Structure 1
Amino acid sequence: MISSNWPNGELRAVPCGPLVNSGSQSNFSRSHEHATHRSTCTRHSNDAAVPAPYLIRLKIKSYAVSYANSFNERLLPKPNMHDTKLSVAPLPHQFLESALVLLEAAFEQDPILAWCLFAENWGFDERRTNYLRSYLRYHHDALMPALGAWRSGDLVAVSYFAPASRAESPGNFAELGHQIASTCGELSLRRIDLLRESSGSNSSVANSSWIEFIGVSPMLQGEGIGSTLLNATLAHLREIEPSGTISLETAESRNIPFYERHGFAIKERIDRPGLTQYRLSIS
């Protein structure tokens, strides 16, 4: 699933990425994007050499509005952040822990993760970390694509996505379900399965590519990084499947205008007790 609160930390589709079958035919959830304003950018230059630039290398300018502030609140200038080159490249496996730290900050306030992992119960922060780590490992082990954005040696944004043509490995998928059940609890897995099942039952998105997670370091929102990374993600998926549909899910209605500016349209609203999701697609 993907969703990330840019206004309060989000850009997302539905945090529970692909589904998991934990041996009892349990399903897993879709995509998610998110970013929250309370965490800081973490230096990751020692993790590994930054890959050669992949789709984009450009200078980021200052903008008057930010996706992380309801898309229309003015931001104060951030020192030493402007006119700095941004490099977007495939995200190597050795950046997994750096990506985890970034996504934890980005999804700290994410409503979908909060719902799936029972934020009202003790131990939520640990369950969120365990879930994100399990999914990122699954994504890399399944050889699905991911992009990272670097600025001055820092990993500042990541995007995890799944092309429709990329077959899921039953073994990896079952292991993901097992990991989620053991580290987050069976009840959390059931809720993740519920989201996954609702996506799979919709014929219009059954064969869609999905943006699972996309998030920007909260301290750097409003710099255009999220827009750049989303465009790079769409371009990458178009290279793989030029005529395919690309979908994402969000529980933040205030982020919908951002996606619409990039060509997405709302296809479905899903209401559940405690959670309202929006499924958006672009063809």
Structure 2
Amino acid sequence: MPETRAEVRMLGDSYAREMRSLLYHAYRHEPTFAYLLESDRPGFDQRVRATIRELTHQHMLEQLPVLGLVIDERLVAVALIAPPQRRLGITESWAWRMRMLLTTGFRCTKRYLEYHEAVLGCLPPGPYHVLPLIGVHPEFQGKHLGEQLLEALHAWCAEDGGSQGLVLDTGNARYLDFYRRHGYEEVGEVALGPIREHVLFHANPQTEAQLSRQGMGL
């Protein structure tokens, strides 16, 4: 299938509704959300919508970066980015926790917090960018937009000379080969009930170059 090219944009509040809709469709069938938000219990779709809404709301409230791909003014892919110094900012917010408790319940909020802390616990010390949410709209999958989004993310994060790279996680095993082909290495694994959440790291080009020079004794 021919590649579809999209425009890369940093997104603001005007895209909030589209972001929530896209991420809801991207995550509602993901095994990680199925476990965290108890898909076997009535009200699962509402809990997915609420979780996406509260995460994106807090992200935008704290003015953290969001990178998206746009085709003909339609948002087709998006990634929320947590800079190194703000990796725990959203889940440490008591306002966020209270809204999650009210919309998803105690058990789901507790599961999400434990999952988030376990993923971050897999990382070695150092400054990293983290992607709490990333997705391509299902209608546009298979058009190489995932590759374009990763390329844009790698280029954007590489501009921060203080960051060692980019971290994301997935409980969907069918994505692993895709991420590995694009330079990600697994740095940890988290057990979420029957799900195995894989924590993946992509080094910034500057970091790779530094390691190469050190290896050559330069």
Name the residue aligned to 1:137.
57
What pairs with 1:79-228 in structure 2 (closer than 5 Å)? 85-166=5-86, 173-204=93-124, 207-228=127-148
2:2 aligned with 1:62: yes
Contact residue 199 and residue 206 of structure 1 kept, 8 A: no
Deviations 1:48-101 (A, max 9, x none): xxxxxxxxxxxxx716xxxxxxxxxxxxxxxxxx5xx51111011111111111
List runs of 5+ in structure 2 lacking aligned partners. Answer: 204-218
Q: Matches of 1:126 and 1:210 in 2, distance apart?
A: 26
Report the AA paired with residue 262 of structure 1: H
CA shift for structure 1 position 205: 5.9
Q: Matches of 2:90 and 2:75 in 1, distance apart?
A: 31
What pairs with 1:263-282 in structure 2 (closer than 5 Å)? 263-282=183-202
2:182 aligned with 1:262: yes
Q: Comparing both structures, which one devotes a greater share of its residues to helix?
A: 2
Q: Matches of 1:128 and 1:275 in 2, distance apart?
A: 17
Q: Matches of 1:158 and 1:215 in 2, distance apart?
A: 6
Q: Secondary structure at the match of 1:270?
A: strand
TM-score calculated relative to the size of structure 1: 0.67
Name the residue aligned to 2:215.
none
CA shift for structure 1 position 279: 0.8
Q: Matches of 2:41 and 2:161 in 1, distance apart?
A: 42
Which structure 1 residue ranges, 4+ long, deviate > 6 Å from structure 2? Answer: none
Q: Secondary structure at the match of 2:190?
A: strand
Q: RMSD of the alignment, in Å?
A: 2.1
CA shift for structure 1 position 142: 0.9
Contact residue 142 and residue 168 of structure 1 kept, 8 A: no
Q: Matches of 1:219 and 1:175 in 2, distance apart?
A: 34
CA shift for structure 1 position 207: 4.0
Contact residue 199 and residue 205 of structure 1 kept, 8 A: no
1:128–1:243 CA distance, 2 compared to 1 (3 A): closer
Contact residue 157 and residue 163 of structure 2 kept, 8 A: no
TM-score calculated relative to the size of structure 2: 0.85
CA shift for structure 1 position 243: 4.6
CA shift for structure 1 position 178: 1.0
Name the residue aligned to 2:155.
235
Q: Matches of 1:142 and 1:249 in 2, distance apart?
A: 22
Name the residue aligned to 1:248.
168
Instruction: Tell which has more relative contact order, 1 or 2 (C-alpha 8 A, sep 6+).
Output: 1
Contact residue 205 and residue 247 of structure 1 kept, 8 A: no
Number of aligned positions between the proteins: 203
Percent identity, aligned pairs only?
A: 25
Deviations 1:136-183 (A, max 9, x none): 000001111001111112111111111113476589722111111110
